[in-house]
């Protein structure tokens, strides 16, 4: 048991090394590009390794399975968006305005957004490895948005007759739908401008004055 613990500690240190972190980021960047272009099912594990400058065994050292790689890509994307809205969702205005910042950040990384959109759609198919992840993501995001809006109601800042669950569904639907329109016609659709206008109208509609 002691030997196993020592091995685990050593492995943990190795994974936290600067060189290892750089390689991991290179793998995730390559995976995002392949998932966006080819979809999860058709993306080549070996091609991801080659683009990241690794052999296939080298890639397997960091991500033993393709599912592990997929989930790491999804987690990375969500972590990069979390800082805009605040981890506690306790300020409803910051949350709503922060979603505009998320849209602005997304507009600068079309390949990442495309990968996410493709995987989101693919996850609706039977037995897709990311189906649970996306379902939980929507559930958690909905709960966080509802919590934020309910807090605004309880503090007398939001009209008491609004339905937080409906607003949360509207927000998620608006973000996902607008992203699809933008991905199809990036020259014609200004995702940030449209979403920002929507958020401002929403705040004016629900805010108690």
**pLDDT block averages, 10 residues each, the chain of length 209:** 45 61 92 84 91 94 90 81 71 93 86 83 89 92 96 97 97 96 96 97 96
The whole-number pLDDT of residue 141 equals 92
The whole-number pLDDT of residue 5 equals 42
Q: How far apart are CA 165 and CA 189, in angstroms?
A: 28
pLDDT tens, residue by residue, 94-150: 999 999 998 998 888 787 788 888 888 989 998 888 899 899 989 999 999 999 999
- 13-22 — which CB contacts under 8 Å span 24+ positions? 20/62
The whole-number pLDDT of residue 60 equals 94
Helix/strand number for the chain, H first, E second? 10, 0
Residue 46 lies in domain:
2-206
The whole-number pLDDT of residue 9 equals 43
* CA torsion, ordered 87, 89, 92, 96, to nearest 10 deg: 50
Element (H, E) at 63: none
The whole-number pLDDT of residue 105 equals 84
The whole-number pLDDT of residue 201 equals 98
Reported pTM? 0.76
Percentage of the chain surpassing pLDDT 70? Answer: 89
Alpha helix stretches (DSSP H) within 43-130? 45-51, 56-62, 66-85, 92-107, 110-122
The whole-number pLDDT of residue 113 equals 84
The tally of domains found in the chain comes to 1
DSSP-derived 3-state class of residue 6: helix
- Neighbouring CB atoms inside 10 A of 2's CB total 6
The whole-number pLDDT of residue 77 equals 75
Q: How far apart are CA 201 and CA 195, in angstroms?
A: 10
The whole-number pLDDT of residue 16 equals 57
The whole-number pLDDT of residue 161 equals 96
Q: What is the CATH number of the domain that holds 79?
A: 1.10.357.10
């Amino acid at each position: 048991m002691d030997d196993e613990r020592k091995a685990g500690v050593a492995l943990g240190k190795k994974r936290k090394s600067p060189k290892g972190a750089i390689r991991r980021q290179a793998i995730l960047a390559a995976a995002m590009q392949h998932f966006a272009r080819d979809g999860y099912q058709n993306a080549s594990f070996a091609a991801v390794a080659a683009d990241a400058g690794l052999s296939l065994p080298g890639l397997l050292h960091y991500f033993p399975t393709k599912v592990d790689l997929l989930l790491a890509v999804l987690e990375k994307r969500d972590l990069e968006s979390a800082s805009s809205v605040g981890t506690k969702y306790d300020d409803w205005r910051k949350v709503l305005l922060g979603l505009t910042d998320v849209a602005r950040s997304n507009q600068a990384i079309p390949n990442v957004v495309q990968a996410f959109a493709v995987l989101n759609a693919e996850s609706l198919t039977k037995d897709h490895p990311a189906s649970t992840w996306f379902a939980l993501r929507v559930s958690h995001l909905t709960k966080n948005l509802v919590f934020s809006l309910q807090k605004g109601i309880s503090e007398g800042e939001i009209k008491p007759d609004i339905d937080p669950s409906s607003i949360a569904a509207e927000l998620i639907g608006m973000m996902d739908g607008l992203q699809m329109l933008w991905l199809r016609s990036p020259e014609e659709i200004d995702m940030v401008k449209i979403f920002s206008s929507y958020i401002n109208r929403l705040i004016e509609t629900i805010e108690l004055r």
